[in-house]
């Protein structure tokens, strides 16, 4: 119970007093009747008068009337609604009863012997004492009852005129005052104890409430710390806790990892608010696809993951991915426009035993990577083949830092020629790593591992260094001053500036930047807008710029117009069956028609046969690179090869056999 102010406290105390009074009243009335009977008997035996029985009848009737009224009061709920009124009523009843009892000493006393009168005084004092003992919670009823009764007794004693009576009268006064004082003190104690009890309850109540508040703000804080504010989904830290427990449970667990295809384009074209709306909508779709035990999480950006648990996770994760793909294929309304989105999903399932969260995450990541590589908007499940590739990937991740530090990597140089004359115009620097146990590692794998390990800058610095050293070695051998092309991935642009790294190396080696051409190589889309700053630097420092693998779809003709290019390299895949493929011939012709008037050089990659070279030349392509002219060679071999004069197939074959 909360007692807030004095009024409320007074009412609560009155209620307690009323309760106590009502509890005691039955006994009070009963003893009242018993004493009245004994008093009537005493007086009857004393003088044989029967008038006293009329008084007895009145006293019993009034006691019954009080009992009836009290019962009615109890059931009326007055104790709760107005305890003060109830107490006033009880006081009035007690006073009326006191008046009735005062009749005995006043009216019957005159006919009694002195001795009988003393008995009456004794009974009256006893009755009053009894009333006081019964009313320790509320003194007014006892005082209201005792005052007329003791007053009448005192009066009768004074009226009797004897000396003994006066002494007894004095005792009666003293006794009455003591009794009333006891009644008042008793009530005070009762009130004090009640207030202490209320305050204790009050304190306990406030403590409980404070406790509840602390608990609820703790919960709110915890919720905040575990939730992504934009989507309301669990965040990365909550994911870690749940995923950790799931991965250690030894039972089935699956991670369904996905991100929204081309989310950056949505952000760039429709604005960040629209991007946020898309994320919130995706979160809603995700939530409705989840069952109670599944945990949907936003890891950050447009990356989401769902943790599924139980023995049927393999089937459930596949069904889940299907459901998600279907739900997301329905257009969303973003910024008032219907917006179609798709997502790429990677699933990793682990059925038995413990597994580290990071391992399962890496598997889901590998599957997602594969889904994107396969053209996005699809689901890939981590499988055995990925497992093998994944194991290799981990091996490379472990070994690359040391290999780089120990200089275990090297470059090979492949000539680029004027196809008609076989005159060498440059070399392309290609990365090589012969791994002690895994053999030759494909360069794109090295590049990806470096990116994962945030070592791309070191790798590029190594390539820049070796390429510049090669230029210096070429010059020292008095061979023609040809260019050297180095490959650079635009993915690096977000972490460092390859142009700056190359500039540093060129300065250190005293190499003219115009001798270096930077080939922008990328398996994903090459977006000149996002690369603009870096491309400008390349241009400003004086390096040449080439777009690699042209035609495979990532670079577009529009890009050619947007960028200050020197060279376009037509991808190997168009060259291979060029003599037979009309489509590829048309493509080469189209590239030549756009590029040549803009002053761009075209180099055909992967030229293996004379027919390919002839076809290329007839389509307007002048320069070529490929096994027909020369395989990638170690630095010293390339220099020797150039010094001897690039004398055709025989040289290339000899080098490749070496």
List residues near ligand C2E by CB under 6 A: 414, 430-431, 442-444, 447, 463, 487-489, 519, 521, 548-549, 572, 605-608, 626-627, 632
Binding range to Ca ion, per CB under 5 A, among 255-263, 329-337, 408-416, 541-549: 541-549
Interface characters, 584-623, with Ca ion (x: CB under 5 A)? ---------------------x------------------
Q: How far is the CB of 550 from Ca ion (least distance, A)?
A: 8
**Which partner from the list ligand C2E, Ca ion, none does 271 bind, CB cut-off 5 to 8 Å by kind?**
none
Q: So which residues are the catalytic ones?
A: 302
**Which partner from the list ligand C2E, Ca ion, none does 567 bind, CB cut-off 5 to 8 Å by kind?**
none
Instruction: Answer whether 146's CB lies under 8 Å from 62's CB.
Output: no
Binding range to Ca ion, per CB under 5 A, among 64-72, 158-166, 195-203, 544-552: 544-552
117-176 binders of Ca ion (CB under 5 A)? none
Q: How far is the CB of 592 from Ca ion (least distance, A)?
A: 17
Q: Nearest CA to 18 among 76, 65, 62, 64? A: 76
Give the tokens for residue 243: 């995923």
Of 346 and 528, nearer to ligand C2E (C-beta) is 528
Q: How far is the CB of 415 from ligand C2E (least distance, A)?
A: 10
Give the side-chain half-sphere CA count within 13 A for 479: 23
The torsion angles phi and psi of 138, rounded to 5 degrees, stand at -145, 105
Of 49 and 444, nearer to ligand C2E (C-beta) is 444
412 binds Ca ion (CB under 5 A): no
Q: How far is the CB of 428 from Ca ion (least distance, A)?
A: 6
Sign of CA dihedral 376, 380, 382, 385: negative
Among the listed residues 259, 549, 566, 612, the single contact to Ca ion using CB under 5 A: 549
Q: How far is the CB of 619 from ligand C2E (least distance, A)?
A: 18
Q: Nearest CA to 592 among 554, 548, 627, 623? A: 623
Q: How far is the CB of 472 from ligand C2E (least distance, A)?
A: 18
Of 232 and 443, nearer to ligand C2E (C-beta) is 443
**Which partner from the list Ca ion, ligand C2E, none does 578 bind, CB cut-off 5 to 8 Å by kind?**
none
The torsion angles phi and psi of 326, rounded to 5 degrees, stand at -65, -45
Instruction: Answer whether 426's CB lies under 8 Å from 485's CB.
Output: yes
Instruction: Answer whether 484's CB lies under 8 Å from 471's CB.
Output: yes
Instruction: Answer whether 255's CB lies under 8 Å from 294's CB.
Output: no
Of 70 and 467, nearer to Ca ion (C-beta) is 467
Alpha carbon 109 to chain centroid, angstroms: 90
The DSSP code sequence of 435-487 is ETTTEEPPHHHHHHHHHHTT-HHHHHHHHHHHHHHHHHHHHHTT----EEEEE
Of 196 and 524, nearer to Ca ion (C-beta) is 524
Measured CA to CA, the distance from residue 561 to residue 563 in angstroms comes to: 6
- φ/ψ bin of 169: left (φ > 0), alpha (ψ from -120 to 50), beta (otherwise): alpha
Alpha carbon 411 to chain centroid, angstroms: 48
Of 32 and 487, nearer to ligand C2E (C-beta) is 487
Measured CA to CA, the distance from residue 44 to residue 86 in angstroms comes to: 37
CA distances to 64, 602, 645 from 417, rounded to whole Å, are 130, 11, 12
Three-class DSSP labels, 585-630: HHHHHHHHHHHCCCCCEEEECCCCCHHHHHHHHHCCCCEEECCCCC
The DSSP code sequence of 75-96 is HHTHHHH-HHHHHHHHHHHHHH
Of 298 and 601, nearer to ligand C2E (C-beta) is 601
Among the listed residues 302, 412, 548, 635, the single contact to Ca ion using CB under 5 A: 548
519 binds Ca ion (CB under 5 A): yes
The torsion angles phi and psi of 354, rounded to 5 degrees, stand at -80, 155
Q: How far is the CB of 523 from Ca ion (least distance, A)?
A: 10
Interface characters, 453-492, with Ca ion (x: CB under 5 A)? ----------------------------------x-----
Q: How far is the CB of 415 from Ca ion (least distance, A)?
A: 13
Measured CA to CA, the distance from residue 503 to residue 513 in angstroms comes to: 7
Of 198 and 369, nearer to ligand C2E (C-beta) is 369
Residues binding Ca ion (CB under 5 A) = 487, 519, 548-549, 605
């Amino acid at each position: 119970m909360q007692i807030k102010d004095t009024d409320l406290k007074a009412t609560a105390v009155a209620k307690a007093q009323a309760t106590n009074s009502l509890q005691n009243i039955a006994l009070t009335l009963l003893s009242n009747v018993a004493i009245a009977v004994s008093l009537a008997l005493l007086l009857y035996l004393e003088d044989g008068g029967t008038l006293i029985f009329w008084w007895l009848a009145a006293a019993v009737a009034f006691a019954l009337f009080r009992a009836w009224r009290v019962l009615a009061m109890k059931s009326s709920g007055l104790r709760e609604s107005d305890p003060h009124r109830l107490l006033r009523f009880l006081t009035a009843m007690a006073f009326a009863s006191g008046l009735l009892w005062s009749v005995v000493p006043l009216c019957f006393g005159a006919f009694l012997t002195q001795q009988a009168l003393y008995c009456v005084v004794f009974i009256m004092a006893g009755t009053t004492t009894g009333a006081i003992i019964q009313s320790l919670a509320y003194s007014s009823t006892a005082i209201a009852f005792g005052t007329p009764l003791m007053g009448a007794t005192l009066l009768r004693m004074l009226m009797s005129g004897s000396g003994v009576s006066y002494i007894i009268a004095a005792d009666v006064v003293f006794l009455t005052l003591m009794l009333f004082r006891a009644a008042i003190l008793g009530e005070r104690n009762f009130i004090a104890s009640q207030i202490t009890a209320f305050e204790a309850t009050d304190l306990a109540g406030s403590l409980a409430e404070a406790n509840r508040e602390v608990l609820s703000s703790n919960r709110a804080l915890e919720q905040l710390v575990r939730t992504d504010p934009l989507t309301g989904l669990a965040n990365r830290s909550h994911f870690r806790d749940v995923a950790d427990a799931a991965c250690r449970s030894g039972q089935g667990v699956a991670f369904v990892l996905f991100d929204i295809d081309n989310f950056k384009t949505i952000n760039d074209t429709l604005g960040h608010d629209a991007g946020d709306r898309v994320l919130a909508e995706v979160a809603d779709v995700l939530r409705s696809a989840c069952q109670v035990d599944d945990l949907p999480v936003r890891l950050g950006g447009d990356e989401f993951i769902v943790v599924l648990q139980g023995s049927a996770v393999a089937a459930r994760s596949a069904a889940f991915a299907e459901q998600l793909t279907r739900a997301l294929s329905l257009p969303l309304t973003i910024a008032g426009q219907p917006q179609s989105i798709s997502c790429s999903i990677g699933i990793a399932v682990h059925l038995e035993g413990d597994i580290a969260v990071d391992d399962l995450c890496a598997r889901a990541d590998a599957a997602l990577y594969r889904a994107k590589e396969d053209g996005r908007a699809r689901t890939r499940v981590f499988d055995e083949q990925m497992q093998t590739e994944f194991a290799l990937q981990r091996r490379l991740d472990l070994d690359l830092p040391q290999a780089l530090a120990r200089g275990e990597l090297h470059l090979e140089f492949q000539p680029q020629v004027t196809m008609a004359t076989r005159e060498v115009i440059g070399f392309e620097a290609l990365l090589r790593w012969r791994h002690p146990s895994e053999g030759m590692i494909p360069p794109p794998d090295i590049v990806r591992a470096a990116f994962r390990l945030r070592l791309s800058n070191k790798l590029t610095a190594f390539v820049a260094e070796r390429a510049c050293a090669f230029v210096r070695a070429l010059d020292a051998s008095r061979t023609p001053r040809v260019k050297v092309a180095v490959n650079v991935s635009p993915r690096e642009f977000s972490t460092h500036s390859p142009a700056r790294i190359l500039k540093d190396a060129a300065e250190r080696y005293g190499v003219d930047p115009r001798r270096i051409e930077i080939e922008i190589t990328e398996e994903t889309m090459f977006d000149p807008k996002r690369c603009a700053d870096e491309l400008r630097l390349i241009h400003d420092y004086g390096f040449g710029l080439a777009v690699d693998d042209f035609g495979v779809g990532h670079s577009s003709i529009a890009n050619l117009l947007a960028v200050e290019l020197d060279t376009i390299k037509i991808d190997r895949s168009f060259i291979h069956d060029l003599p037979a493929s009309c489509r590829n011939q048309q493509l080469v012709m189209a590239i030549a028609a756009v590029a040549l008037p803009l002053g761009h050089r075209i180099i055909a990659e992967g030229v293996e046969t004379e027919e390919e070279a002839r076809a290329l030349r007839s389509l307007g392509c002048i320069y070529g690179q490929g096994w027909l002219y020369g395989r990638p060679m170690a630095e010293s071999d390339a220099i020797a090869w150039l010094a001897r004069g690039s004398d055709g197939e025989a040289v290339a074959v000899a080098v490749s056999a070496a």
